[in-house]
Amino acid sequence: MTPAQLSKELRTGQGDFLEERRGVIVLSLTAIGCMGLIALYQTGIIRRLPDLPLPLMDADKVDASDEAYAKLSMPDAFLGLGSYAATMGLAAMGGKDRAAQQPWIPLALAAKAGVDALQAGKLTYDQWAKHKAFCIWCLVAAAATFATVPLVLGEAAVAARNLAKKL
C-alpha cells in the first residue's frame, strides 16, 4: 500500500473496523488530555488541579503521592502520555485490511488494551485503598481506557482467525 492509499483509507474509508480504530484514537486523546493536565501539576507548572467539589475527590492528594513519582524517577503522568501515544499508534497503523494482511497489529492493540485496562483498574483501586480519595482526571482516563477494550476485540478476533489460517 502506498502512503497516498493509506492516507485516503484512514481519512475517508469505512468498515473493516476503521470506526472502532477512530474511537480508540478519540479515547486515547481524551486520556492524553487528562494526563497532560496531571503532568502540568506534577511538574509544578500549575499549582492545583481542577477538581469536583465532592467529598471523595482530591486530585492533588492522589497525583502528588509517593506512588505517583515512584516509577523511573518521573511523574507517572508522563508514563501515561507515552502509553496512550503507543495505543494511538497501534490504532492508526496499517490499512483497513490489516486484520488479514498484518494480523499482529490488531492482536498487539488488543493485548495492549487489555494490559492497560488491568493497570487502570489497579490504579483506580489504589486511589481509594492508599489515599481514600479519587482524582477525577484519573477516573476519566481510566474510563477511556476501559471503553477501548470492546472497540478492539472484533478486529482482534478476525486477525486471530486469519493468523490461524496462515499457520
Q: Please give the full DSSP string across 18-80, using - where no structure is assigned.
A: HHHHHHHHHHHHHHHHHHHHHHHHHTTSSSS----SSTTB-HHHHHTSGGGG-STTS-HHHHH
* Contact call for residues 57 and 134 (beta carbons, < 8 A): yes
Beta bridge pairs of residue 28: none
Full domain range(s) for residue 65: 18-166
Q: Is residue 10 part of a domain?
A: no
Q: Which residues contact 40 (CB under 8 A, 6 or more apart)?
A: 46
Report d(CA 138, CA 143) in Å as an integer.
9
Q: Is residue 4 part of a domain?
A: no
Report d(CA 133, CA 67) in Å as an integer.
14
Q: Is residue 136 part of a domain?
A: yes
Query: What percentage of the chain has pLDDT greater than the value 70?
Result: 100
Domain CATH code at residue 74? 1.20.1440.130
Report d(CA 41, CA 63) in Å as an integer.
8
- Tens of pLDDT, residues 47-96: 999 999 999 999 999 999 999 999 999 999 999 999 999 999 999 999 99
- Residue whose C-alpha is closest to residue 82's, from 45, 28, 125: 28
Q: Is residue 13 part of a domain?
A: no
Q: pTM for this one?
A: 0.94
Q: Is residue 11 part of a domain?
A: no
- Tens of pLDDT, residues 16-58: 999 999 999 999 999 999 999 999 999 999 999 999 999 999 9
For residue 161, name the pLDDT band (cuts at 50, 70, 90): very high
Whether residue 167 has pLDDT greater than 90: no
Please count the structural domains in the chain.
1
